[in-house]
Amino acid sequence: MGTPPQIKNNVRILGNLDSGKSIILVHGFGTDQTSWNSMIPAFAEDHRIIVFDNVGAGESDPEAFVQYKYLGLKSYTRDLLDICEALEIRDACVIGHSAGGMIGALATIAGKQHFSKLVLLGASPRYLDDAQYVGGFTENDLKTIYSTVVENFLGWVDDFAPKAMNHPDKPELSQHFADTIRRIKPENVLTVLCAILQSDHREDIQDIDVPTLIIQAREDLFVPMEVALYLRDNIRDSRLVSIQACGHFPHMSAPQEVVRAIRGFL
């Protein structure tokens, strides 16, 4: 018998535990459930809020990260569905940031009974450029990232974190992000980066069958506006909101903007 998801993924249930409305928050690469801390109070009165750490991040069970299993997003998706089954979640709104957005999207397809709405925050179905598709990265970009992580992990973190956060006025946010990345073993970071940056879920998103909100910030190192427009054009019953925030982590740097967009959707 496997480790229960509550332990495996360090699941916590917050907010109004008696509410019939649930929100599930799925974090992205390099962060953990604490990345949602600034947003949780806005929904805590009216919703039951489920937060957790993806395997390999935060306080998840370190023994659960088996590299060959987590070379793609399917095992992360299975973990999310296991959490929903264990907690008997029905008709929840799943909010996913970055890779967590695609994990949430794949979960709505595979476990429709659990979800009624989807929010994609800085999410992408494919990061590599392709013919007639702008993903934001070239093959050379990825090779450079992988080689730098292997050769100088700490130097890469120190350079990458502030660029991704894109808020020189709030250095504490970059520091928090850098600290959460450093908690991950370098070899695991490389595995997760490969799983995310080499994924292609463009066909999958066409099977999303719940109302979907796409939230896009400005000057996102990971996800250009072209990707958000692609999501809007290829997901049925979706709408795109461009918010007054910059960087890849608006739920940390401008939580009020993200909350405002989600409230209008809920």
∠ Cα 72 73 74 (to 5°): 95
Helices 171-182 and 153-165, packing angle to 10 deg: 140
Residues 6+ apart with CB under 8 A from 68: none
Separation between Cα atoms, residue 54 and residue 31, nearest integer Å: 9
How many residues can be counted in the chain? 266
Q: Are 191 and 70 in contact (CB under 8 A)?
A: yes
Separation between Cα atoms, residue 176 and residue 181, nearest integer Å: 9
Catalytic residues: 98, 220, 248
H helices of the chain, in order, are 5-8, 40-43, 74-86, 99-110, 139-151, 153-165, 171-182, 186-197, 225-234, 250-253, 255-265
Residues 6+ apart with CB under 8 A from 121: 95, 96, 97, 98, 101, 215, 250, 251, 258
SS3 content of the chain, % helix, strand, coil (to 5): 45, 20, 35
